[in-house]
Amino acid sequence: RKEVEQDPGPFNVPEGATVAFNCTYSNSASQSFFWYRQDCRKEPKLLMSVYSSGNEDGRFTAQLNRASQYISLLIRDSKLSDSATYLCVVDTGRRALTFGSGTRLQVQP
Amino acid sequence: NAGVTQTPKFQVLKTGQSMTLQCAQDMNHEYMSWYRQDPGMGLRLIHYSVGAGITDQGEVPNGYNVSRSTTEDFPLRLLSAAPSQTSVYFCASEGGFGQETQYFGPGTRLLVL
């Protein structure tokens, strides 16, 4: 079983739609959680950290469920520029990250 | 600040050749790491370092060596390249406790024939 699992997609949605991604992790000792964004053939960049209380950054909302060991990302009012691969990332405290294989989002006009 | 820089951007090697992928950061970050990314696999950790003089193995260390003689630099050495090492390699750095954002370099695309 992979340490971090994501639905690879692709998720094809129209502009303005709301889309949600989920991610599950296997290590219950995981301490920190993140969503990274990766554009085609580019390096990953931090989108947002995920906190137990849930957090929001503009159109993006991230939530963490420690009991069920899953993380979610909600994108509201999708823009064409949101098209990318979204990586679920977990830190078990070793100061190095475990990445999911990513969920591809394509926002269509 | 240049952030995290990597050289070269592209490299073609023949099986058995050796080479060093360079990584440097100018943010005075203690933590640095190397990942490889293969299609459908996500990023996998090769080696990481929590400070100068300290390195440790990640998930897929075989065939790679690292050293950390300075805070700024963290080179990755391929000892004897194999076609299975064809991949995109990313270097990353992190400021440490309270600054957990990892900053990635632009990557090195390596093809081993």
DSSP per residue, A2-62: -SEEE----EEEETT--EEEEEEE--TT--EEEEEEE-TTS--EEEEEE-TT-EEETTEEE
Instruction: Flag whether residue A99 sits within 8 Å of chain B, measured between CB atoms.
Output: yes
Asked whether the predicted pLDDT for residue B99 surpasses 80, the reply is: no
Q: Report the percent of chain A where pLDDT is more than 90.
A: 76
Instruction: Flag whether residue B35 sits within 8 Å of chain A, measured between CB atoms.
Output: yes
- As a whole number, the mean pLDDT across chain B is 93
Residue A69: left (phi > 0), alpha (psi -120 to 50), or beta? left
B 39-98: CB under 8 A from A: 40-45, 48, 50, 58-59, 90, 94, 96
pLDDT band at A30 (very low <50, low <70, confident <90, very high): confident
